[in-house]
Amino acid sequence: MSSDLRTPLARVGGLGSARSGTGHFWLQRVTAVANVPLTIAFVVILASLFGRNQAAAQQILGTPLVAITMLLFIGSVTFHMRLGMQIVIEDYIHGEILRPLLVMANTFFTIGIGLAAAYALLKLSFGI
């Protein structure tokens, strides 16, 4: 008797554990934990900008600690968004051609959003 727990169909098709989900799972959890303090810092920084003119906003965002915190927030949130949307796409899109196209589009979209937000922040921070 075989100790293999796969179904006969999986054995014939050579299908089994993908052995790749654990890393994705942990990355999603780590970014979720990192997003908690970064989101709190983002809300505090954003609240401090209300009612201020552009010069005051540039002065606040030009502070290295604030700018680095905001860049970390942008990076963490966009990476977490990409991971989450990839899971949704892989779970609910079943087309062999459409699924990889949507995963690529998801990656390009999050890179675009992240770069646009980082550019806007750096432009405000440095006043260029």
Look at residue 19 in the predicted model and tell me its pLDDT.
57
CATH number at residue 52: 1.20.1300.10
Number of domains in the chain: 1
Q: What angle do CA 56, 60, 66 make, to 5 degrees?
A: 165
Answer yes or no: is 105 within a domain: yes
Answer yes or no: is 3 within a domain: no
Answer yes or no: is 26 within a domain: yes
Domain holding 46, by residue range, is 21-126
CB-based contact 99:93 (threshold 8 Å):
yes
Distance CA 123, CA 64 (A): 14
Distance CA 42, CA 28 (A): 20
Report CA-CA distances (Å) from 36 to 21, 41, 61, 71, 94: 23, 9, 20, 15, 33
Look at residue 122 in the predicted model and tell me its pLDDT.
92
The stretches in the chain having pLDDT less than 70 are: 1-4, 6, 9-20, 128
Look at residue 119 in the predicted model and tell me its pLDDT.
96
**Which tens digits make up the pLDDT trace of 70-85?**
999 999 999 999 999 9
Look at residue 2 in the predicted model and tell me its pLDDT.
57
Answer yes or no: is 100 within a domain: yes
* pTM for the full predicted model: 0.81
